[in-house]
Structure 1
Amino acid sequence: MRRAPIYISLFFLLMGCSSDKDQINITISAASSMMDSLYEIKQQFELEHPEVTVYFNFGGSGSLRRQIEQGAPIDIFISASEKEYTRLLDEELVTAGEVILKNILVVISPKDSENKSLEDFLKSTEKLAIGTPGAVPAGTYAKEAFENMNIWDEFEERKVFAKDARHVLTLVSEGTVGAGIVYASDVKKSNEISILEELNPMYHRPIRYFMALVEKDSIEEQKKVFAIKQFYDYLQTETSLAIFKDYGFEVVQQEKLVNE
């Protein structure tokens, strides 16, 4: 297995996170749509395992995949895109993992918007924010849905591409754009936006979250290996799954994935 050079900036950032030699630090790269739920899970996990500190690296799944290819010091990868997970699996950079969650897309607008539906928004001249297709899974799914609904071309001069789903949420909540496409989990506990409607999942591929352990070139200390596996397993406990559900994710039946 070949690995690209260490992803330097992230490496030194993580190396400086803790000076306690007895503290075990683990790092998870995860789709930005999981930010709120994972921080809540982190708090609970660290209460139960005070010797472990969990750090997160959030972003679009495509960007996170590229960081791992470049050698970023990541321990667990959680992708909102099957393509990004499969690519790393084919490159032998992650182990076969699990599908743990599903999500749906929603059309959102600023709280004070005059638009009450996607149809209303289509009649306006306002901008639409989506994650960059090909790099951000939410944007890829949105483009696929709009193409199948035969309305993608209607946004030719109105699209604003964002770096991830959280960026879309920010653009909408600040009123920079008139609407955006995000995951239902992004807005489950938000009071700053309105949901115009859910996009029918029949118009795009299923939105599934893939979780896998990142392969290592060097042998990690046994206590860190154990801590990584502890958190990996903890994400699949009833405690964690209940938190994911509370944030709008759909928990799916666990299925071990293989590289066929």
Structure 2
Amino acid sequence: MKRWWHRCGVLVLCLSGMAALFASDASADDLQVAAAASLQGVLDELLERWAEQSPTPATRVSYGGSQILARQLHAGAPYALYLPADRRWLLQALAWAGAEANSATELASNRLVVIAPRGRCPAGDLLDPAVLERQLAGSRLAIGEPGSVPAGRYAEAALRHLRLWPVVEARLAPVENVRLALLLVARGEAPLGIVYATDAHSEPRVQRCLTLPANSHPPIRYAGMVGPSGDVEMARRLLAFLADSAQREIWQRHGFLPPTAN
């Protein structure tokens, strides 16, 4: 177990420094975007299409936890767009910027799922405490850190609502972002994890075992706001592009639902 936590700690340290690396590597003319880690696949593809239409300025993205990115924005990071996975942190960032809540632009929604390494979903109902406890015997459930990662907060809410929290509370592997939870399951280092449906969709080494009831946790909605730095008009154009119905097929291909579906 110590070895497992050592590897996990190295991954956390590497990923926590990524946002700073992106920001320091960017040109002063680049349009810098802060986005939730769970948006990486879809946003990379959307920005490829955007670059075909608007090749300049170049767009640089810092992916990470919504809370970390919001605090970086508040501390002066030059983000022109902020795209979190948590409405709570979006509202906080808007408040820090002195902007109205209705100035945010809705983009997509998501679901929460329980995953296992491919081919290893357990027999039985994972909503049954006895089944879940047996599956986690001697191991841990990979989730985002509930105190700072939206996916972890949603996972805790769902587990409490479903009266499974007492079963898992001492068996958690809380990590810095949801992509780390996905990776731990994909590598077989955790038998189960709770991630977004889109994460499971993007990783062939895992299998979706269960979609958690939508009413067991707050709605998972992605929205964006224009930040205080950079080319504000270009940032508005990019945000409108991301929300345009012409891009919906890309969102859907990556497993995202329309903003009103969750």
Give TM class, smaller chain: 0.7 to 0.9
In the alignment, which residue of structure 2 is the partner of 1:203?
A: 216
In the alignment, which residue of structure 2 is the partner of 1:136?
A: 149
Task: Write the mapping of 1:81-230 to structure 2, written as runs, cut at 5 A.
Answer: 81-92=86-97, 96-113=103-120, 115-116=122-123, 117-118=125-126, 119=128, 120-124=131-135, 125=137, 126-216=139-229, 220=230, 224-230=231-237
2:67 corresponds to which letter in structure 1?
G
Deviation at residue 114 of structure 1 after TM alignment: 5.4
| Alpha-carbon separation, structure 1, partners of 2:248 and 2:193 | 27
1:123 corresponds to which letter in structure 2?
R
Deviation at residue 252 of structure 1 after TM alignment: 2.2
Identity %: 27
Q: Which structure 2 residue ranges, 5 or more long, are not aligned?
A: 1-17
2:118 corresponds to which letter in structure 1?
K
The answer as to 2:62 corresponding to 1:57 is yes
Structure 1 pair 139–128 and aligned structure 2 pair: CA distance change class (3 A): same
| Alpha-carbon separation, structure 2, partners of 1:164 and 1:105 | 14
* Contact 2:106 2:243 (C-alpha < 8 Å) held by counterparts: no
Q: Which structure 1 residue ranges, 5 or more long, are not aligned?
A: 1-8, 254-260
In the alignment, which residue of structure 1 is the partner of 2:77?
A: 72
In the alignment, which residue of structure 2 is the partner of 1:258?
A: none
The answer as to 2:257 corresponding to 1:250 is yes
* Contact 2:105 2:239 (C-alpha < 8 Å) held by counterparts: no
Deviation at residue 45 of structure 1 after TM alignment: 0.8
| Alpha-carbon separation, structure 1, partners of 2:246 and 2:171 | 42
Structure 1 pair 10–145 and aligned structure 2 pair: CA distance change class (3 A): closer
Task: Write the mapping of 1:228-247 to structure 2, written as runs, cut at 5 A.
Answer: 228-247=235-254
| Alpha-carbon separation, structure 2, partners of 1:114 and 1:85 | 35
Structure 1 pair 144–16 and aligned structure 2 pair: CA distance change class (3 A): closer
Deviation at residue 10 of structure 1 after TM alignment: 5.7
* Contact 1:107 1:199 (C-alpha < 8 Å) held by counterparts: yes
In the superposition, the TM-score normalised over structure 2's length comes to 0.83
| Alpha-carbon separation, structure 2, partners of 1:10 and 1:173 | 24
* Contact 2:186 2:203 (C-alpha < 8 Å) held by counterparts: no
In the alignment, which residue of structure 2 is the partner of 1:5?
A: none
Structure 1 pair 114–98 and aligned structure 2 pair: CA distance change class (3 A): closer
SS of residue in 2 equivalent to 1:150: coil
Structure ranking higher in strand proportion: 1
| Alpha-carbon separation, structure 1, partners of 2:22 and 2:43 | 20
| Alpha-carbon separation, structure 2, partners of 1:14 and 1:112 | 40
Structure ranking higher in helix proportion: 2
C-alpha distance after superposition, 1:191-232 (max 9, x if no partner): 11011110001111111112101124xxx5xxx333222211
